Structure 1
Amino acid sequence: MSRLTMVPLGKEAMSRRRRSALLKVAILVLLIITIALFFWFLKGKVTSLIVKAVVETEPASMGQIADTRHLPGWIIRDETIVYTPITGRLESLIGDGERVRLGAPVARVKTVNPSGEVMGTVQDFMAPRSGLVVYNTDGLEDIMTPRVLEEIDVEQLSNLTVRKEIIEVEQLVYQGQALFKVINNLDKAHFLAHYNIQDLGRALVPGARLTLALSPEGPTMSARVINVRGGEDAWVVLQISNPPTEVIKERQMTLLVVDRTYRGFILPEKAIVQKEGQDGLLLSIRKKAQWRPVEVLAIVGDQVVVEGIREGDLVVLNPQFVVEGQEIK
């Protein structure tokens, strides 16, 4: 019976085997490193693309914003309603909100028979004054005058209600019904408001001057106190010198009393990035996020007023998605 005999490998053969094993390990390590580098590079590219897509920037521009207090109330305008003496179908000759001259044709009513068919009689209605044409009424035209605090008691003031009636073009209008009104938009308007001294931060007295606004960003309007009725809880009539069209056309609205105005670069408060206790912003400089210190002049709502940057600098608005030095758009 034969036996198998193990013959020891020679030194050269063993050396070849070791070199082959080491080569395989080296190739495997190199492959792992290559794959890791590829994924690291890919991750960087993907992250960069995501950052570029998500990060929002905005050119810095000077502006102004104000600390304000709300003052709800009613606009008092010099206005004239035109009524129809006949029943018929309404046709507008001037659009809602357009300005007309005294005597200009505004609307036309065509008489109709009992079945609603248009007949031959037509009557044109002219502007009784110059101003803005408005095709609605609210039931307060005869009540809302600059002397309202002298003519109406407090209980009536508390129960003021807008009953808006929109006059549709081509609708059937009846004898005695309002067709349109013309509002004097060149003269001063008045504003009736109910306020509490504690909420407003001051007591209003006749002759006092205020600055009003439609929003913290403006525009602003000059106003003067004409009449006050009450004590801690009071009614006031203000005279507005330069009311914009938005104010003229509305009856009930909330104006803002301006306490203080700030001028600077206005940005979202979330754009501020603190670094070592210093307020700053991330700017896009050569397509990279770079931090710059700024001075915060004021915080109004969710906005800040800052100085320390230049007009046109690209400010990162959502810095939570980027780190300093990162490539951005």
Structure 2
Amino acid sequence: MSRLTMVPVGKEALRQRRRQALLRLAALMLLLAVAAAGLWWMKDRITGYLVKVTVELQAAKMGQLAETRELPGWVIRDERIVHASMAGHVQRLVKDGDRVRVGAPVVRLKGLSPVGEEMGSYQDLPSPRAGLIVYRLDGLEEVLNPRVLDELSTEQLNTLAERPQEIPPDGLAQAGQGLFKVIDNVEKAYFLTHYDVKDLGEPLVPSRRLTLALNAAGPNFYGKVLQVRGTDDVWAVIQLVNPPAEVFKRRQLPLQIVDKIHKGILLSKDTLIERNGEKGVWLAVKNRAEWRPIQVKATIGDQVIIDGVAEGELVVQNPALLREGQEIK
């Protein structure tokens, strides 16, 4: 029986095998380094491309934020309802909220026969006065009226509730049904508010002048307290001075009593970033990202007033992917 005999490997052969192993390892390391460099290069290119595609810029603008207290209530304005003179389909000739002159046609009624079929006749209903056209009737037009402001009883105040009604375009109106109302947005408007003194923080008193707004960003307008009923559970009437048109278009809304106003560059809080404990924003300067330290003067909700950026400079609105010098288009 033959026997296999193990022959020791020579020293030269061992050295050769070690050199080959080291060469394979070096080649593998080089390949990994090249791949990593390629991935890093690609990462920068992809990130740069994504930034150029997704970056959002907005020119810095002056604005304001106000420290406010909410004042819920109802708007009282001089308004007149126009009723259908006959049964018919309603065609709107004016957009909701538009201002018209006296005599301007607002709605066209297409007459119906006794069996409900549309006839060829039609009638245009004009605006009886100049003002804002509103198609939604809320049922409070006769109750919350400046002419009966002093006659409102506590019982009426405690049962105030809207009963909305609106005939849609091409809807069917019955004779005598309210079609639209015309709101005089030139004459005085009033605001009826109901509040608890402890919720408001500071009571209203007759003749007090108030700075008001629809929200913290303005615009501001003014009011004068005319009447106050009650001590803890309070009803008050405020005369509004030059309110924005949005106030006339709505019946029930919260106004804001403005206690303090901060003015400066108005930005979204999302535009701010922090570097080394310092707040700042990214700007687009000559198509490159440039970080600019800023001072926050006021923060209200999701908006801030800042110093450190000039009006008109381009502020990056989504700064998450940016780095210094990043190309921006």
Query: By the TM > 0.5 criterion, same fold?
Result: yes
Cα separation, 1, equivalents of 2:16 and 2:81: 110
After superposition, the C-alpha distances for 1:39-61 in whole angstroms (9 at most, x for unaligned) are 34334444544555666554332
After superposition, the C-alpha distances for 1:100-133 in whole angstroms (9 at most, x for unaligned) are 3333444454553320134577655443222223
Checking the alignment, whether the CA contact within 8 Å between 2:166 and 2:179 is kept in structure 1 is no
Cα distance, 1:235–1:287 mapped onto 2, change above 3 Å: same
Checking the alignment, whether the CA contact within 8 Å between 2:297 and 2:305 is kept in structure 1 is yes
Tell me what 1:327 maps to: 326
Deviates more, 1:235-244 or 1:100-109: 100-109
Tell me what 1:281 maps to: 281
Deviates more, 1:28-37 or 1:65-74: 28-37
What is the aligned-residue identity percentage?
A: 46
State the secondary structure of the residue aligned to 2:185: coil
State the secondary structure of the residue aligned to 1:165: coil
1:244 is matched by which residue type in structure 2? P
After superposition, the C-alpha distances for 1:158-200 in whole angstroms (9 at most, x for unaligned) are 2211111113344443333223322112222111111233333
Matches within 5 A, 1:156-167: 156-167=156-167
CA deviation after TM superposition for structure 1 residue 79, in Å? 1.0
Report whether the alignment pairs 1:268 with 2:276: no
1:292 is matched by which residue type in structure 2? R
Checking the alignment, whether the CA contact within 8 Å between 2:111 and 2:118 is kept in structure 1 is yes
Tell me what 1:234 maps to: 234
Report whether the alignment pairs 1:137 with 2:147: no
Checking the alignment, whether the CA contact within 8 Å between 2:191 and 2:239 is kept in structure 1 is yes
CA deviation after TM superposition for structure 1 residue 300, in Å? 0.8
CA deviation after TM superposition for structure 1 residue 15, in Å? 8.4
Deviates more, 1:266-275 or 1:59-68: 266-275
Checking the alignment, whether the CA contact within 8 Å between 2:297 and 2:304 is kept in structure 1 is yes
Tell me what 1:221 maps to: 221
Number of aligned residues: 326
Cα distance, 1:27–1:93 mapped onto 2, change above 3 Å: closer
Structure 1: which 5+ residue stretches go unaligned? none
Checking the alignment, whether the CA contact within 8 Å between 2:59 and 2:312 is kept in structure 1 is yes
Deviates more, 1:230-239 or 1:46-55: 46-55
2:309 is matched by which residue type in structure 1? I
After superposition, the C-alpha distances for 1:57-112 in whole angstroms (9 at most, x for unaligned) are 54332222222222221111111122345444445454443333333444454553
Checking the alignment, whether the CA contact within 8 Å between 2:69 and 2:257 is kept in structure 1 is yes
Deviates more, 1:35-44 or 1:51-60: 51-60
Pick the structure with greater CA Rg. Answer: 1
1:307 is matched by which residue type in structure 2? D
Report whether the alignment pairs 1:202 with 2:199: no
Tell me what 1:82 maps to: 82
1:114 is matched by which residue type in structure 2? P
Deviates more, 1:302-311 or 1:57-66: 57-66
Checking the alignment, whether the CA contact within 8 Å between 1:90 and 1:169 is kept in structure 2 is yes
Cα separation, 2, equivalents of 1:75 and 1:131: 16
State the secondary structure of the residue aligned to 2:146: coil
CA deviation after TM superposition for structure 1 residue 148, in Å? 5.4
Deviates more, 1:84-93 or 1:304-313: 84-93
Checking the alignment, whether the CA contact within 8 Å between 1:282 and 1:290 is kept in structure 2 is yes
State the secondary structure of the residue aligned to 1:246: helix
After superposition, the C-alpha distances for 1:198-226 in whole angstroms (9 at most, x for unaligned) are 33332212221122222222222222112
Matches within 5 A, 1:62-211: 62-109=62-109, 111-118=111-118, 124-146=124-146, 150-211=150-211
2:127 is matched by which residue type in structure 1? A
2:206 is matched by which residue type in structure 1? P
1:184 is matched by which residue type in structure 2? D
Cα distance, 1:48–1:123 mapped onto 2, change above 3 Å: closer
Matches within 5 A, 1:21-60: 26-49=26-49, 56-60=56-60
Checking the alignment, whether the CA contact within 8 Å between 1:189 and 1:239 is kept in structure 2 is yes
Tell me what 1:301 maps to: 301
Checking the alignment, whether the CA contact within 8 Å between 1:190 and 1:240 is kept in structure 2 is yes
Note the aligned Cα RMSD (angstroms). Answer: 3.6
Checking the alignment, whether the CA contact within 8 Å between 1:289 and 1:322 is kept in structure 2 is no
Cα separation, 1, equivalents of 2:64 and 2:25: 68
